């Protein structure tokens, strides 16, 4: 027997997957228990040089011809996008009983549950290890190694571009736009960086992790999402002074009310393992019972890291371990009960730009006091009478609804020159 692969998409990940399958063929065969051979490929431009020899593959202009081909047992989709070709290929391949492997977080975060149902109905496997944190096998960790645990919290650094930018800002004191331009020049950020820096990419990954951890359908819309555009060099400097680092965290956590899912720039104690993850590296912490805390760290993107995850799934499928996409029966993947973000309990960082005049600090403290929020620390540097100066306060535990009300009142103070900056402080 041979597992015959139809590869749709020959870009960064697709070309590397084809290259590695060929370069490591004997090792992969011994691990898979049978040869794994790419038989058919498809991309947009047949004439493009991809640095790989395409002559041994059958080229298909129409990717759907691969999804229905009699010479293909498993379809590997590496095109991307929530719908379009990727979704059509998934439905066609799974409908035809072919195994389907993808790195497509956008599609799985939206359509994962219905595709899992289709796979199950047709006796095929759906696998998407490469969709979350590239070279970190976090999906297998949740589905297999940690299957005996009740998971209480999954959180981490899920976007290398944002982590690179925040690390550089921390280390050099440079402004966001300046570091973003460098990330683009280095190829870490796209020309249109919104998908990364607005938290969308991390939110898609978090929705998938939450589904695996809490046994439901992935629900991208349930993730409260914001990015890092608003993170200033000033807040990075205050964070440093307070003993924190700012990171874009994805957090899915169990509470009494349900499951909280959110992506935002947060402060974390500089001593915490996750706060010390620098550059483009990704990291995921899984907290469960009885395991306690389990931290996975590694490369989150790039052709090699992502192809590594794709091939791991291919080997699983070839050796009969393809299993169920979310590790549970598709019929059991119901809606994950959502905890409103306003119910979040925790500490907060608040920075307000105010005109420096007597009584301002007392006015600010009065707002916190009226809402019953206790202040943990207060920072104000220098004096510039009648000029705007930053005043920073951190709080003890409160809830998000209350701190939002505090922020609204602070912004309305006569001395305030702009709305306050509010950031969650994570206890890790
Ligand atoms: N790059 C990463 O580091 C990374 C990491 C994790 C996950 N992923 C995921 O992996 C997937 C692929 O990403 P990538 O970076 O490899 O993308 P990419 O370099 O842009 O490659 C996309 C490929 O899809 C092909 N394609 C586009 N539209 C097509 C169509 N209508 N029919 C057939 N082929 C079509 C393109 O053809 P042409 O080459 O002819 O234009 C190209 O080969 C995405 O889901 C992405 O989210 C990527």
Q: Residues 58-65: what's their mean pLDDT?
A: 98
Q: Tokens 């009478």, residue? A: 385
pLDDT over 90 at 59, yes or no: yes
Nearest alpha carbon to residue 341 among 255, 419, 409: 255
Beta strands 244-254 and 259-269, pairing class:
antiparallel
Q: Within its chain, how far is the Cα of 46 from the centroid?
A: 32
Q: Tokens 């959180």, residue? A: 155
Q: Which of ligand 1's atoms lies nearest the C-alpha of 43?
A: 34
Q: How far is the CA of 19 from the centre of ligand 1 (A)?
A: 15
Q: Hey, how many other C-beta atoms are within 10 angstroms of the C-beta on 85? A: 19
Residue of the nearest CA to atom 27 in ligand 1? Answer: 79
What local confidence, expressed as pLDDT, does residue 189 receive?
87
**pLDDT band, residue 292 (cuts 50/70/90):** very high
Q: What is the DSSP string of 197-226?
A: HTSHHHHHHHHHHHHHHHTS---GGGSEE-
Q: Hey, how many other C-beta atoms are within 10 angstroms of the C-beta on 279? A: 12
pLDDT in tens, 84-123: 999 999 999 999 999 999 999 999 999 999 999 999 999 9
134 in ligand 1 pocket by Cβ < 6 Å? yes
Across the chain, mean pLDDT equals 96
pLDDT in tens, 121-133: 999 999 999 999 9
Q: Hey, how many other C-beta atoms are within 10 angstroms of the C-beta on 225? A: 19
Nearest alpha carbon to residue 283 among 294, 271, 263, 297: 297
Q: Which of 80, 164, 282, 312 to mutate to test the pocket of ligand 1 (most atoms within 8 A of CB)?
A: 80
pLDDT in tens, 381-424: 877 888 899 999 999 999 999 999 999 999 999 999 999 999 99
Q: Which of 18, 64, 66, 79 to mutate to test the pocket of ligand 1 (most atoms within 8 A of CB)?
A: 79
164 or 190: whose pLDDT is higher? Answer: 164
133 in ligand 1 pocket by Cβ < 6 Å? no
Sign of the alpha-carbon dihedral angle for 182, 188, 193, 197:
negative
Residue of the nearest CA to atom 12 in ligand 1? Answer: 78
Q: Dmax over Cα atoms in the chain, in whole Å?
A: 82
Q: What is the CA radius of gyration of the chain?
A: 24
Q: Which of 42, 43, 66 to mutate to test the pocket of ligand 1 (most atoms within 8 A of CB)?
A: 43
3-state secondary structure of 274: helix
Q: Within its chain, how far is the Cα of 250 from the centroid?
A: 6
pLDDT over 90 at 140, yes or no: yes
Rounded CA-CA distance 280/359 in Å is 44
Residue 77: beta bridge partners? 8, 102
Q: Tokens 């060929």, residue? A: 22
Share of the chain above pLDDT 90, in %: 95
pLDDT over 90 at 338, yes or no: yes
> Would you call 205 a catalytic residue per the annotation?
yes
Q: How far is the CA of 254 from the centre of ligand 1 (A)?
A: 34
pLDDT in tens, 216-243: 999 999 999 999 999 999 999 999 999 9
130 in ligand 1 pocket by Cβ < 6 Å? yes
42 in ligand 1 pocket by Cβ < 6 Å? yes
* Catalytic residue selected from 91, 105, 205, 240: 205
306 in ligand 1 pocket by Cβ < 6 Å? yes
Q: How far is the CA of 48 from the centre of ligand 1 (A)?
A: 14
301 in ligand 1 pocket by Cβ < 6 Å? yes
Rounded CA-CA distance 341/337 in Å is 13
pTM of the entire structure?
0.97
pLDDT in tens, 240-285: 999 999 999 999 999 989 999 999 999 999 999 999 999 999 999 9
pLDDT over 80 at 33, yes or no: yes
- On whether the CB atoms of residues 125 and 323 are closer than 8 A, the answer is yes
Q: What is the DSSP string of 313-356?
A: HHHHHHTT----TTSS-GGG--PPPBPPGGG-EEEEEEEEEEE-
Q: Which of ligand 1's atoms lies nearest the C-alpha of 301?
A: 3
- On whether the CB atoms of residues 307 and 13 are closer than 8 A, the answer is yes
**Tokens, residue 113:** 């549950």
Q: Residues 151-166: what's their mean pLDDT?
A: 97
Q: Residues 318-335: what's their mean pLDDT?
A: 94
What local confidence, expressed as pLDDT, does residue 320 receive?
94
């Amino acid at each position: 027997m041979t597992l015959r692969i139809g590869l749709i998409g020959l870009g960064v990940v697709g070309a590397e997957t084809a290259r590695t399958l060929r370069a490591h063929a004997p090792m992969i065969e011994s691990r898979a228990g049978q040869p794994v051979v790419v038989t058919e490929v498809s991309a947009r431009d047949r004439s493009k040089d991809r640095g790989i020899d395409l002559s041994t593959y059958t080229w298909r202009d129409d990717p759907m011809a691969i999804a229905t081909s009699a010479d293909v047992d498993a379809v590997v989709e590496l095109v991307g996008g929530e719908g379009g070709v990727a979704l059509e290929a998934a439905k066609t391949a799974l409908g035809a009983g072919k195994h389907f492997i993808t790195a497509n977080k956008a599609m799985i975060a939206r359509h994962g549950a219905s595709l899992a149902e289709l796979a199950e109905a047709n006796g095929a496997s759906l696998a998407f290890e490469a969709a979350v944190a590239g070279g970190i096998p976090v999906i297998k960790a949740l589905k297999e190694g940690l299957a005996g645990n009740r998971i209480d919290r999954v959180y981490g650094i899920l976007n290398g571009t944002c982590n690179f930018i925040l690390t550089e800002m921390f280390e050099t004191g440079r402004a966001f736009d300046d570091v973003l331009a460098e990330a683009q020049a280095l190829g870490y950020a796209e020309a249109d960086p919104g998908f990364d820096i607005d938290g969308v990419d991390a939110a898609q990954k978090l929705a998938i992790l939450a589904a695996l951890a809490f046994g439901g359908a992935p629900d991208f819309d349930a993730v409260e999402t914001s990015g890092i555009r608003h993170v200033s060099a000033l807040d990075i400097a205050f964070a440093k002074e307070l003993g924190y680092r700012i990171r874009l965290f994805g957090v899915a956590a169990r509470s009494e009310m349900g499951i909280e899912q959110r992506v935002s720039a947060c402060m974390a104690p500089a001593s915490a393992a996750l706060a010390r993850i620098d550059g483009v590296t990704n990291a995921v912490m899984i907290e469960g019972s009885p395991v306690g805390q389990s931290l996975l760290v590694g490369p989150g993107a790039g052709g090699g890291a992502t192809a590594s995850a794709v091939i791991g799934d291919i080997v699983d499928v070839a050796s009969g371990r393809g299993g169920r996409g979310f590790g549970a029966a598709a019929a059991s993947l119901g809606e994950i009960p959502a905890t409103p973000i306003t119910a979040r309990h925790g500490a907060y960082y608040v920075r307000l730009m105010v005109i420096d005049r007597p009584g301002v600090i007392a006015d600010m403290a009065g707002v916190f006091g009226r809402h019953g929020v206790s202040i943990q620390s207060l920072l104000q540097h220098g004096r510039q009478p009648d000029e705007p100066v930053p005043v920073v306060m951190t709080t003890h535990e409160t809830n998000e609804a209350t701190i939002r009300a505090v922020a609204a009142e602070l912004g309305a103070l006569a001395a305030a020159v702009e709305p306050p900056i509010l950031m969650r402080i994570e206890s890790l």
